Structure 1
Amino acid sequence: MSETKMDENEDSSIAATMGFSGFGKKARTFDLEAMFEQTRRTAVERSKQTLEAREKEEQLSNKSPVIKGAPSSSGQKKTKASGSSSGSEDSSDDELIGPPLPPNVTGDHGDELIGPPLPPGYKDSDDEDDEEHEDDDNPVKDIPDSHEITLQHGTKTVSALGLDPSGARLVTGGYDYDVRFWDFAGMDASLQAFRSLQPCECHQIKSLQYSNTGDVILVVAGNSQAKVLDRDGFPVMECVKGDQYIVDMANTKGHTAMLNGGCWHPKIKEEFMTCSNDGTVRTWDVSNEKKHKGIFKPRSVQGKPVIPTCCTYSRDGKFIAAGCQDGSIQIWDRNMSVHTKFHCRQAHTPGTDTSCVTFSYGGNVLATRGGDDTLKTWDIRKFKNPLNVASGLENFFPMTDCCFSPDDKLLITGTSVKRGIGDGKLLFFDVVTFQKIYEIQVTEASVVRCLWHPKLNQIMVGTGNGLAKVYYDPNRSQRGAKLCVVKTQRKERQAETLTQDYIITPHALPMFREPRQRSTRKQLEKDRLDPVKSHKPEPPVAGPGRGGRVGTHGGTLSSFIVKNIALDKTDDSNAREAILRHAKDAEQNPYWVAPAYSKTQPNTVFAEVDSDEEEPDNEPEWKKRKI
């Protein structure tokens, strides 16, 4: 009350000073405590009514009286609600807030349900955690193989697969020397490649890989020079070829023998690596194609050079691993190229080609696919003995690979089969137990390449009969094959002709007026009848010929002779008569000899022969002159 009086005194003093009696209407004041109390009582009354209605419905449905003495949460809540309406404000913490609980909910205040009742099929967080734990224990559910699409690369083995980091484009290479580009966003249901080329002419494609930025592609073929192409297949650089007559391979600028594999550096986008039959592993820089960047030379136990059949970088790019033809696995520090950091001499059977070496996403586990039909995992920190071994996996190709799942729980690889004997399979192994937990029968040919993309969550497989298959799950996979299977096949476009813009001039003079524009089909038919527009060939000339053109008959010497012979009706059977026919004409109009003597000797004088000089007829034959 004292504060109110002080406010009134201040108002009266201000009014007297300003010269007017009041400031207008006073602002309304609200008693918030009273409003909260009223709201609380209304909620309690509504809760009572709802609870009573539910009890009546249950009595009608069960057709049995409710036992009053039976303990129930609803009775306790009702008692609390009635007691709270007559009690003090200190007991407001125990009152019912919000809609009442269903009768079947029991428990202490800490377990009471706040908010609307849960549906009957709801499971609390503990149950969800248990189910998630069960799902984690079963990694088979994470394999995206419910759907598949087939890309027809050709008829020969698909020996290389590459997918860019974003998962938008797939590139395939094979034994038919072709490299095909597939764009998932641009393809329709016909599943046709948008480009095909032969970057290395008549050499089988060994490896294809996009860089970590996805702008260039490394192409490794059966020749000694690796190539780098851009996303559209145009050449960017080509490695230089070394001198095969130099003994020390470190003194040559490039490889001198067939390449076996290659890959990009995971961190440095300009660096890539290749291995060759010349016994070296070389690193390159895209900006310098004249010389390699670094060289690593695998050695056997005796110190002799051995051929590396596959190579790869570690996930952080610090180590370089190579599988060699003597069965060894050798790992170098990228900055120290002389001595190996880790090595295992008897990793696989000597004399077999180790077809793949790959690191897990964690970086400590190394998986190798051997030519001795085995699959092994290694811990690089304890590199003497393998962690796990799986045998009996046939391998007929020098590029059969293996890869880890994105969560590092599974290891997949393919098996090879002979033609017409069984199906090639894609096998899934648990990394911890190394038990085969799943398999996919791909096709009636060997499974050569396999790739599990972490962003798309899709599996790409290359087979020995020219197919590239993509496995995906509509619910677990992203983009990729899901983009092209929903598109309808495009219709072939009809031939179109370029037409000029037609300007309508109704009041133009007849000499300037353009003809009325017709449809394309009618215009084409009209142009076909026009000999000039349709380029109709000119017909042969009848008669002797005109305008510099030869006539139909007599155009050539043979035809002229044939024509004259056919028209000549003289009989040349009597040669004397044929000659004497021209005697009178020759005498009157001499042509050959007589014109030369017409002035000096107009009268022809012939030689006279004496009678004495005449040869007697009785002269012997040996005295006669021989003519």
Structure 2
Amino acid sequence: MEQQEEDRDQTSGTAGNDADIASVMGFSGFGKKARTFDLDAIFEQTRRTAIERSQKVMEQQEMKEAEKQKQALMRGDSHAGKASVSGGKGHPAMSSSRAQSDNSSSSDSEDDSEDKLIGPPPPGQLSSRRAAEEDEEFVGPPLPPGYKDSDEEEDEGEDDNPVKRIPDTHEITLQHGTKTVSALGLDPSGARLVTGGYDYDVKFWDFAGMDSALQAFRCLQPCECHQIRSLQYSITGDVILVVSGNSQAKILDRDGFQVIECVKGDQYIVDMANTKGHTAMLNSGCWHPKIKEEFLTCSNDGTVRTWDITNEKKHKNVFKPRSMQGKRVIPTSCTYSRDGKLIAAGCQDGTIQIWDKNLSVHTKFHCRQAHIPGSDPSCLTFSYDGTVLASRGGDDTLKTWDMRNFKKPLNVATGLSSFFPMTDCCFSPDDKLLMTGTSVKKGAGNGTLVFFDRLTFQKVYEIEVASSSVVRCLWHPKLNQIMVGTGNGLAKVYYDPIKSQRGAKLCVVKSQRKEKQAESLTQDYIITPHALPMFREARQRSTRKQLEKDRLDPMKSHKPEPPVSGPGRGGRVAMHGGTLSSFIVKNIALDKTDDSNPREAILRHAKEASENPYWVAPAYTRTQPEPVFAEEELDDEEADKEPQWKKRKI
């Protein structure tokens, strides 16, 4: 008690000192006091609420137990007759029922003892969270066994049905050109799309920088007059691999400037392994999925080569596909496995050959009759789990292969027409669907994008894209958007506002920018900064206002008369072009009716001109001096009589 009184005196003294200092310094106080919490009261309150909620839970459990006992008693009454007959006077049955009741009471007491709180209550946050969970568990009557919430049904339906995840509710169309879009590439972040086509152009599209006009921000021809066959961003998105119809692949940066160009091999060397590069047209190419400096190309020279971006003067490794007879075979498509350890090539004789990346001589997997010979497989792609390989053949088929049993295909889909040597197929991001495009002849229908279930290989969905073939398709896993290249120069992007992210959603919401008119000064002005406003001449800043004024002027806006055709009208002559020169040539130069002397024809007007001057003489009457003519020459006798100074000097 004495200690408490001393503490109170100290606190009162400090409070008095604070008040004195505040009054001296001229303000009311030293700010707000810190909040104090009574922890004992808080713990007591949380303990009471926890006990009350636990009591409610116990009451509900007791009610359930009572209902169960009633049901058990009802069942026991129904069997009581049989029990009494079998048990004589019924003492054994009674003893058994008593034993059951004793067991039930002992179990109830055990449950009650378990439900009682032992020890200090948990902290307020944990106890309140546990109580909230218990309330959520026991609130309301029990639901029927077959009942499901609507949201849960939608979620489960979407999980079970991968078709609902296809983002095809909205689409935008990018006009690449008028010829086939034969290459598509999207960077890993999904910010930029690059398209290439048979018109040799490569166009860059920036989703964040585009507006609803959907115009490409750059167009170039990196390979001159060669068709673009493949475009792909590296795994870091900083460079682009360009594979065209020539023998040299190129690497461009994000803005389209060339980084490297692969070297061309010596076409006069028989063994293609001894050349430094490809010697024939390229067919396909792709980047390594793990190593950002390595990429892969295949060519008509019968080789598949790996390259390093740091060494453009020579390839890294060479893989040579061989037929059953050991002859050279042309690879038409190539790809890496998802882990980058395998290299697969689809060849012209219908075979699929797969090598280990570090062993380039013998194949690791080889399927001799994967597709019809001479059908040119157009695409090979691995599933995201790396166990399944999908091949798109030129024989109008789509097949899947299990890498653990590569002798025969898992599934085959037929009737998928393909007219282009780069028709794509790809897996969905969840690895449950397989997508490819179909080709159509001109005016024979619409090209479609077909979706197959990976396990059952049933056609589960189809999208009609355009009145032309579907050549390229790409399903970006990060954006969840589908890019499609068609045979009539269009690149379409399918997306869903809810399921998709960024990409096309960024540019469709932006309004088109107004076109800036070309403004230029019509003439130079001398600007005097200190001149008075009344003497200042209006400065003409653009030609637009001047054009508007000229349009209001009836003389300047008068439409010039068109040239006269036919015999002429309105006094205009049109026989020889209707011009002044043609009129003079016709009437004067070509007039041959006067056969007289031309000197006489000119001098016949001299008398009239001298008597009645009209043109020249009246204009010079005031300023022209009197004409003085030389006198007639004298005879020799008269000339001798003249003084010396009058004689003319000869």
TM-score (norm 1): 0.66
Shift of 1:92: 9.2
Shift of 1:496: 3.0
Extract unaligned runs of 5+ from structure 2.
15-35, 57-66, 68-114, 119-130, 551-588, 590-596, 602-632, 634-650
User: 1:166-565, aligned counterparts within 5 Å?
Assistant: 166-497=189-520, 515=536, 518=539, 520-521=541-542
Give the aligned length: 467
Structure-1 separation of matches of 2:155 and 2:8: 76
Shift of 1:36: 4.5
C-alpha contact 1:502 1:517 (8 A) present in aligned 2: no
Quickly say closer, same or farther: Cα 1:423–1:516, change in 2 above 3 A: same
Structure-1 separation of matches of 2:436 and 2:500: 20
Quickly say closer, same or farther: Cα 1:115–1:383, change in 2 above 3 A: closer
Q: Does 1:113 align with 2:135?
A: yes
Quickly say closer, same or farther: Cα 1:24–1:115, change in 2 above 3 A: farther
Tell me which amino acid in the other structure corresponds to 1:226. Answer: A
Shift of 1:115: 10
Tell me which amino acid in the other structure corresponds to 1:138. Answer: N
Question: Match of 1:520, SS?
Answer: coil
| 130-139 or 221-230, which deviates more | 130-139
Structure-1 separation of matches of 2:307 and 2:430: 31
- Partner of 1:592 in structure 2? none
Q: Deviations over 1:535-582 (max 9, x none)?
A: xxxxxxxxxxxxxxxxxxxxxxxxxxx9xxxxx96469xxxxxxxxxx
Quickly say closer, same or farther: Cα 1:34–1:290, change in 2 above 3 A: closer
Structure-2 separation of matches of 1:29 and 1:382: 71
Question: Match of 1:263, SS?
Answer: strand
Structure-2 separation of matches of 1:29 and 1:263: 66
Structure-2 separation of matches of 1:281 and 1:474: 41
Q: Deviations over 1:197-249 (max 9, x none)?
A: 21111111111111111111111111111111111111111111111111000
Tell me which amino acid in the other structure corresponds to 2:135. Answer: L
Q: Deviations over 1:42-80 (max 9, x none)?
A: x99xxx9xxxxxxxxxxxxxxxxxxxxxx9xxxxxxxxx
Tell me which amino acid in the other structure corresponds to 1:133. Answer: E
Extract unaligned runs of 5+ from structure 1.
1-6, 49-70, 72-89, 94-108, 530-561, 563-567, 573-587, 589-627
Shift of 1:488: 1.2
Quickly say closer, same or farther: Cα 1:26–1:192, change in 2 above 3 A: same
Question: Match of 2:135, SS?
Answer: coil
Structure-1 separation of matches of 2:218 and 2:487: 21
Shift of 1:132: 3.4
Tell me which amino acid in the other structure corresponds to 1:520. Answer: R
Quickly say closer, same or farther: Cα 1:232–1:501, change in 2 above 3 A: farther
Shift of 1:363: 1.0
Quickly say closer, same or farther: Cα 1:119–1:418, change in 2 above 3 A: farther
Tell me which amino acid in the other structure corresponds to 2:362. Answer: H
Tell me which amino acid in the other structure corresponds to 1:360. Answer: S
Shift of 1:344: 0.9
Quickly say closer, same or farther: Cα 1:141–1:501, change in 2 above 3 A: farther
Structure-1 separation of matches of 2:145 and 2:524: 71
Q: Deviations over 1:362-385 (max 9, x none)?
A: 111110001111101111121111
User: 1:125-144, aligned counterparts within 5 Å?
Assistant: 132-144=155-167
Structure-2 separation of matches of 1:513 and 1:161: 64
Structure-1 separation of matches of 2:497 and 2:144: 26
Structure-2 separation of matches of 1:283 and 1:495: 50
Structure-2 separation of matches of 1:299 and 1:423: 38
Question: Match of 1:132, SS?
Answer: helix
Shift of 1:26: 12
C-alpha contact 1:430 1:437 (8 A) present in aligned 2: yes
User: 1:19-98, aligned counterparts within 5 Å?
Assistant: 23=10, 32=40, 36=44
Question: Match of 2:155, SS?
Answer: helix
Tell me which amino acid in the other structure corresponds to 2:177. Answer: G
Structure-2 separation of matches of 1:115 and 1:304: 73
Structure-2 separation of matches of 1:36 and 1:265: 65
TM-score (norm 2): 0.64
Tell me which amino acid in the other structure corresponds to 2:455. Answer: V
C-alpha contact 2:520 2:543 (8 A) present in aligned 1: no
Question: Match of 1:113, SS?
Answer: helix
Quickly say closer, same or farther: Cα 1:437–1:522, change in 2 above 3 A: closer
Structure-2 separation of matches of 1:191 and 1:474: 18
Q: Does 1:157 align with 2:180?
A: yes
Question: Match of 2:359, SS?
Answer: coil
Shift of 1:118: 7.9
C-alpha contact 1:184 1:481 (8 A) present in aligned 2: yes
Structure-1 separation of matches of 2:499 and 2:277: 45
- Partner of 2:605 in structure 1? none
Structure-1 separation of matches of 2:492 and 2:46: 70
C-alpha contact 2:287 2:295 (8 A) present in aligned 1: yes
Structure-1 separation of matches of 2:9 and 2:265: 105
- Partner of 1:602 in structure 2? none
Structure-1 separation of matches of 2:46 and 2:361: 87
C-alpha contact 2:167 2:500 (8 A) present in aligned 1: yes
Q: Deviations over 1:2-32 (max 9, x none)?
A: xxxxx54x679xx7xxxx9965669999795
Tell me which amino acid in the other structure corresponds to 2:487. Answer: G
C-alpha contact 1:358 1:402 (8 A) present in aligned 2: yes
